[in-house]
Structure 1
């Protein structure tokens, strides 16, 4: 399940979707276009347009972003410069909602009852009860509940912390420190201390993400909420040299409160493994993987089964980065079966299910889903029940290492122009930059006897059949050219896929 702003406020969700839509393109959008794109009623469309205009004028007092209106054209955003701070506008919108203020009160555990909180928010206690019930329903799918009476966040503690992390990171993105009860500078020094003189090299953004997670853990423990160890955790960490070095480092911090081999220590280590998905930390991840292989842990066995499925007909070897990183994917799926996004709340499933074209890597998606079902049948490991999450993560691996070409039908293109060799190559390069991750395309040379699926030409001259798959292009590809090529690729992909069934 995807976490989005609808959990906070449905009108805010639509307002932010409108902002994203208008920001995406400099063109004018009519009211009807906005209504269709957002899938809402005409009255709600007018309401959120008015609200967005008001919020923009209030927040951007210097007119950095202005909603322009024109009776004949519609609406569009005027944005001054490229460094306008968008994240702060999102924070401003979210922090002004009752739901988010309620969530903060639940996190800090200073919520007493609906009546007292309604006085703080200048609203009715009936509104607070309604908002609380909506938030309660929204958190249930993640195994997180709001208790009645004293109203605190409870549930499986690992899930509670991940949920809090996702909500805070998606809203604040590290731009502002949102934890008023935790010293930001202290947490920054602690995070730096944890990775100094280690094999871990984090980017500034990854450091900030680690600081958020440490702060959330501190807040939860202050209120008596502790992580409980699961049966399989010791198999991954007992006598693991990577984990031993990690906890030795953490425990040497002067004010450390995490005990050796404690569930809290292990959970923090797991979060580091999951977060550290980059080449600079590959040595650490590889050493951890080699240990799990030596111990033949269940996580290794499941990752090895995935590795075997990739090794057939490819150059993917067991210690290939794709396999090492997949261990972290499997660790996440094992820890958080209720979540379909990554550690920061980002879903990548749309990379295999994009709106344009509709069949974007549809065959690869089906192959991956079939693979996951097969892995669950053969391993009986519950982590493979996290199909949506794993489909998106495996999909990124398939794209990066170009494994998707084995499953998508090949579409042949040919250029027939009066341009020079390098001008034609530039056109090929441009088309590939748009579509190579979407389709299995190949360009035929000038004298190839093969019949192309799509002929691209800037002329009406030549011995070429005038078919629906001949596209007249401009010497410099226009947006219209690109869009039409995409439509034809999508159409041909569908035809070839249905024929091969």
Structure 2
């Protein structure tokens, strides 16, 4: 859907031209049977002439990309016109390649890649090279800084130069995330780092830890190492004070860790702090514990060391088991991944502190939204008592990782109050049953619900909500707890249902929305 483009990771920092090009390409690529110019205009307040100009620009980008491409397996497609309809000739992968080439011209992308090869950037030279005024550059930097604020990273303009501002660890995390989320591995942005060497490193890590990385995870790992090594080359080193002793105590826990340490030490020019940081960043990913029973083995080593991480983890596990009355079996795939996630979460928390995100930008803050407020509140109650040493922002990070682990075993609406829903339909029984199934499909992912018909509810359960297609008020149920929707259950009905159930959830347990 074109709306996805609007929510793209960095869409709001692209220029108007780039935004329009990307959006037009997305719309046409999504309509495989073609679109005429009038249909395209429905999405924009643009003249036909302007849309023609953008389509021409897109095709120019595609042509140049094809001409300069050295890999014969990579194709970009183009927009063609037949019978007054515009088509994109490629598939979704071709679209993504071409989209990357379009956003590659954005000032934010150009600056980000220059910081991979330069510690500082001369403002006048940058403006000259990229045909941009200093005023326009400042506007672009302001947009970039606003977007990157949550990573603790910003660009400073001082004495005619641009520099990156922030803790060195957060700068690396922010750069890696920004580049990965925009390029998704379809371009190699690290001009001073061999892509082949980073691929070999990622593959070697997979071999050492017996992890079969898929291509996406492999490329993400390559971006992380590429970011680190490029920053070392331009002398943006990690401050040893940014890595606490609790982390360093767990640098080498077994032969696999030692093998990775030796491989990095022998093949890359890293000082001790840089070497330690790269290894610890990998340990902050749950994949580091995903082979065999490695999570259980590492958990056992943490226990033997009586390490603070072990104490935090075991207290959380006990809190979950006490609250759910379920003994977690770590020998199952879900239990193993639960344990891996809590272990990785401790590494992430102590390395990146208040960054409750991953490089792939699974923005875990969405657990705090209304639809998942019960989960956030419940995990907060389980996490907060054993983490009084954390700041509020660090606590937020811990809650998010603990919530991710919880969801591997329990439903995300576990902490929400149950809503008993009675369905009544002015239609035959089979239609009512099918309608009930559709209502459940809409609400089940978001709420703790149980759905009944008049036949199945009986007299044991009192309904909290009546969902009806018949326009008659049921006097036995609070009128404010009755919702009337169309039998077809269209998109607006689905939204209306979710909004209604969110209100009911708030009424039944308002405190979960106060966190």
Q: Establish whether TM, by shorter chain, passes 0.5.
A: yes
1:302-334 CA distance string (max 9 Å, x none):
222322321213215384332431221232122
1: CA distance between counterparts of 2:405 and 2:316? 12
User: Which deviates more from structure 2 when the two are superposed, residues 162-171 or residues 393-402?
Assistant: 393-402
Q: CA deviation digits over 1:422-451, x for unaligned, max 9? A: x76654443333222311101236242123
Taking the TM superposition and a 5 Å limit, the aligned residue runs for 1:339-418 are 339-353=355-369, 359-377=370-388, 380-381=389-390, 385-402=393-410, 404-416=412-424
Deviation at 1:360, TM superposition (A): 1.4
Range that drifts further, 402-411 or 213-222 = 402-411
Q: How far off is 1:177 after superposition?
A: 1.6
Tell me, what secondary structure is at the counterpart of 1:361? helix
Change (3 A) 1:390 1:415: same
Structure 2 contact 469–487 (Cα < 8 Å) conserved? yes
Greater Cα offset, 368-377 or 454-463: 454-463
* 1:103-142 map, 5 Å: 103-109=112-118, 113-125=122-134, 127-128=136-137, 131=140, 142=152
- Structure 1 residue 419, shift from structure 2 partner: 5.3
Instruction: Note the C-alpha offset of 1:174.
Output: 0.9
Change (3 A) 1:271 1:440: same
C-alpha distance in 2 between matches for 1:65 and 1:486: 42
Task: Decide whether the 8 Å contact of 1:136 with 1:145 is kept in 2.
Answer: yes
Name the residue aligned to 2:501.
489
Distance in 1 (alpha carbons) for counterparts of 2:48 and 2:399: 36
Q: How does 1:73-112 map to 2 (within 5 A)?
A: 83=92, 85-88=94-97, 90-109=99-118
Which structure 2 residues correspond to residues 148-187 of structure 1 after superposition, within 5 A? 148=158, 151-153=162-164, 155-187=166-198
Conserved? CA contact 1:304–1:318, under 8 Å = no
RMSD: 4.7
SS of the aligned residue for 1:87 comes to helix
CA distance in 2, matches of 1:256, 1:411: 58
Provide the rounded CA distance (Å) in 2 between the counterparts of 1:213 and 1:226. Answer: 15
1:236: Cα distance to partner? Answer: 1.5
Alpha-carbon spacing, 1:177–1:15, altered in 2? closer, same or farther (3 Å): same
2:297 paired residue among 256, 277, 287: 287
Paired with 1:264 and 1:191, the residues of 2 have a C-alpha distance of: 17
Question: Which residue of structure 2 lines up, in the alignment, with residue 263 of structure 1?
Answer: 273
Q: Secondary structure at the match of 1:108?
A: coil
TM-score (normalizing by structure 2)? 0.73
- State the SS of the aligned residue for 1:342: coil
Going from structure 1 to structure 2, the CA distance change for 1:208 and 1:178 (only over 3 Å counts) comes to same
Q: How does 1:308-319 map to 2 (within 5 A)?
A: 308-314=318-324, 315-317=326-328, 319=330
Decide whether the 8 Å contact of 1:416 with 1:456 is kept in 2.
yes
* 1:234 equivalent in structure 2: 248
Alpha-carbon offset, residue 488 of structure 1: 3.1
Q: 1:279 to 1:216 in 2, by over 3 A?
A: closer
How far is the alpha carbon of 1:221 from its aligned partner? 1.8
Query: Tell me, what secondary structure is at the counterpart of 2:421?
Result: strand
Change (3 A) 1:49 1:4: farther
The residue number in structure 2 matching 1:437 is 445
Asked whether the 8 Å contact 2:58–2:102 carries over to 1, the reply is no
Shift of 1:211: 0.9
Paired residue for 1:59? 58
- TM-score, L = length of structure 1: 0.75
Do 1:352 and 1:395's aligned partners in 2 also have CA atoms closer than 8 Å? Answer: no
Q: Is the CA contact (8 Å cut-off) linking 2:367 and 2:400 kept in structure 1?
A: yes
Structure 1: gaps (5+ residues): 35-44, 69-76, 354-358
- CA spacing shift, 1:25–1:491, aligned 2, 3 Å: farther
Unmatched tracts of structure 2, length 5 or more: 1-6, 32-37, 63-77
Asked if residue 243 in structure 1 is aligned to residue 251 in structure 2, the reply is no
3-state secondary structure, aligned to 2:387: helix
Relative to structure 1, the CA distance from residue 470 to residue 223 in structure 2 (aligned partners, 3 Å threshold; closer, same or farther) is closer
Structure-1 separation of matches of 2:345 and 2:511: 35
Q: Tell me if the contact between 1:154 and 1:160 (Cα under 8 Å) persists in the aligned partners.
A: yes
Q: 1:363 to 1:125 in 2, by over 3 A?
A: closer
Q: Give the number of equivalent residue pairs.
A: 467
Matching of residue 202 in structure 1 with residue 213 in structure 2: yes
